[in-house]
Amino acid sequence: MGTRLIDLLRHDYQLRNIDKRQSHFFSDITVIGDVRDKDKMVELLEGTDVVVLLAAEHRDDVSPVSLYYDVNVGGMRNVLAAMEVNGVNRLVFTSSVAVYGLNKKNPDEEHPKDPFNHYGKSKWQAEEVLQEWFKGHGDWNINILRPTVIFGERNRGNVYNLLHQISSGKFLMVGNGSNKKSMAYVGNIVAFIRFLIEEQSSGYNVYNYIDKPDMTMNELVGHVSKVLKKHIPATHFPYWLGMLGGYGFDFLAWLTRRKLTISSVRVKKFCATTQFDARKVQMSGFKAPFTLGEGLARTLEFEFVHPRTDDITFKTE
C-alpha cells in the first residue's frame, strides 16, 4: 500500500517514506526507522504536515504475539508523541475491519467491536489510544480507515494465494460458496487516502473501506474463470472437513517450525462472511477509480497473464 500511495502522490507532494527496510522503487525518499523507536520518530517527523500511518504487524502467524501490541499500539503512542513534539496535527491511520470480529452482519462504523485475533485486538487498542488522544487534542484532524482485505499487483497475501489456487485449477472450495467476501483493490485504497488528505482536513473521522458490490466465493471463481478464459472446476468440501484439514496443517507447522499457507485460522476466515457497510465512503463524495471487477482483472493479468520483468513482491495477509 505504501509503494502505491507514494506512486500516486509523488508528483504533487514532498514525501518522506519511513520504513524498516529500503524501498525497491523509492529509495531516494526512504529513511530507515521503526515506530517502536520514539526518539527516531521525533527526528524523522520534523517538518511534516500530514502523517499516514501504515506500519503494522499484520500476519496471522506473528511470534511472539507481543509484537502485535508493541508495534500496533506502542507504535501509535510513539508516533503521536513525535507528532506533538513537531507540531504535526493531521493523521491518517489504517486500522482494519478486523476490529468487528468474524461473521458480523454488515457492520457499519458504529458497530460494537469484537476482534477475534491479536491483530484485530491490537488495531482496536490503537484506535482507543487515538480516541483518548483526541479528547485532549480537539484541534487535530484524525482520519481512520478500516479497510477489508486488500489485494493488488505484487501483493502476496491471502487474496493472492486464493487467486493463485483458483487459477491453477488446484482450488478446493470449503463450504457451499455462497458466503460473501468483501475485498478492496489497492489502487482504490490509496486513492481514498489521497481523498482524505485533500478533502477531510478537520475532525475525527472513521471509514470502512470496501469495494462494492461484494462477491460470493462462487462469483469470484466465475470472474477469475472469465478473466483468464479458462474453465476452473470447484469441488465443494464441507466446513467441518476443511477445519479438520486446517488443524492438521497447524500441527504440521508446529512440528516443523515452518509457516504454512494453510491453517485453521485461514480456513475459518475463508468460510466466514466478510461483508461490511461502506455507505459512509459512498456518501463522502469519493469516486473509486476502479470497480472491484476491474481491480481483480488488473491483478490477474499482471500476475498470471503478462510476463513479469522482475520478482519484486510484498507479503501481507
Take residue 70 and report the three cell numbers written for it. 508493541
Grid cell of 191 as nine digits: 486513492
Spatial neighbors of 52 by CB under 8 A, at least 6 apart, are 5, 91, 92, 94, 193, 197
* Residue 131 backbone zone (phi > 0: left; psi -120 to 50: alpha; other: beta): alpha
Cell of 113: 467491536
The DSSP bridge partners found for residue 19 are: 32
Residues in Cβ contact with 261 at an 8 Å cutoff, skipping those fewer than 6 apart: 161
- Rounded CA gap, 192 and 198, in Å? 10
Active site residue 119: yes
Residue 263's region, left for phi above 0, alpha for psi from -120 to 50, else beta, is beta
Q: Give the Cα separation of 100 and 147 in Å (integer).
A: 12
The Cα 233–Cα 138 span in angstroms is: 55
The DSSP code for 274 is: B
User: Which residues, other chains included, contact 1 with Cβ-Cβ below 8 Å and sequence gap of 6+?
Assistant: 54, 94, 150, 186, 189, 190
Which of 119, 160, 185, 207 is an active site residue? 119
CA distance 6 to 13: 9
**Whole-angstrom Cα distance, residue 222 to residue 19?**
38
Q: Which residues are catalytic?
A: 119
